[in-house]
Structure 1
Amino acid sequence: MPRTHKSGSSAGSAKRWSAEVTHSSNALDLEEGVFTKRDPHEIALSLMRSAENSTRRKGTAYQSAMSMLTFEINRAGKSLSAERRQTLEAAKGELRKVFGRA
């Protein structure tokens, strides 16, 4: 039996949903353009500052920062260039270092 999709769900609404999560989730308040930086260390420092200063996060600062970074990588999916993915993945390692978890 073929699967049917719920009415109202489309690729467009999925894009809007993820953008809404990025801008208004309770994970943390992000600095503008954090995921467009080229230096993984700068991305990590920005995420750390945002996580430590946020009053909206639910978990620890480290958990929130790593969660938002992972969300960005997953949200971008196949449209993320190899170079950009490499930078964001390197930022995970830098994030561990700046939080003293490496």
Structure 2
Amino acid sequence: MAGRRKWSQEVTESSDALDLEQSVFTQDDPKAIAASLKRSAEHSKRRKSAPYRSAMSMLTFYINRAGKGLSAARRRKLELAKDELRKLFHRKPRQGGAS
């Protein structure tokens, strides 16, 4: 079982969501994560919805699938990447404390 890939990894790599840049979710800078997702969403031939929606969906999917495996610091950086993504797409900032 150790060699089996998780279904979430399969979805991230081969679904009709986005063509992601390698290691996008492991970057330390939330702005870099958001910029990479924006580039991927705008250039992907595989996405089925608007670029903003596709990028945010992929980021949320990754956070939800990683779940308990994410450290508090990593989760915080990914949540900050959501805020940066909103800025890049000229969307309103989130309301309240949760994304």
TM bucket, shorter chain:
0.7 to 0.9
Query: Identity over aligned residues, as a percent?
Result: 67
2:10 counterpart (6, 17, 20): 20
SS in 1 for 2:90: coil
Distance (whole Å) between structure 2 residues aligned to residue 17 and residue 39 of structure 1:
27
Q: Which residue of 2 aligns with 1:5?
A: none
Distance (whole Å) between structure 1 residues aligned to residue 60 and residue 33 of structure 2:
12
Q: Aligned pair 1:67/2:45, yes or no? A: no
| Post-superposition offset of 1:98 | 0.2
Residue-by-residue CA offset, 1:1-54 (whole Å, 9 max, x unaligned): xxxxxxxxxxx97x6211100100111100001000011011000000000000
Q: Which residue of 1 aligns with 2:42?
A: 52
Q: Which runs of 5+ in 2 are unaligned?
A: 93-99
Q: Which residue of 2 aligns with 1:82?
A: 72
Distance (whole Å) between structure 1 residues aligned to residue 6 and residue 82 of structure 2:
25
Structure 1 letter corresponding to 2:57: S
Greater share of helix: 1
Q: Which residue of 1 aligns with 2:85?
A: 95
Distance (whole Å) between structure 1 residues aligned to residue 21 and residue 87 of structure 2:
20
Structure 1 letter corresponding to 2:10: E
Q: Which residue of 2 aligns with 1:37?
A: 27
SS in 2 for 1:100: coil
Runs of 4+ in 1 over 3 A off after TM superposition: none
Correspondences of 1:2-21 after superposition (within 5 Å)? 16-21=6-11
Distance (whole Å) between structure 1 residues aligned to residue 53 and residue 16 of structure 2:
12
Count matched residues: 91
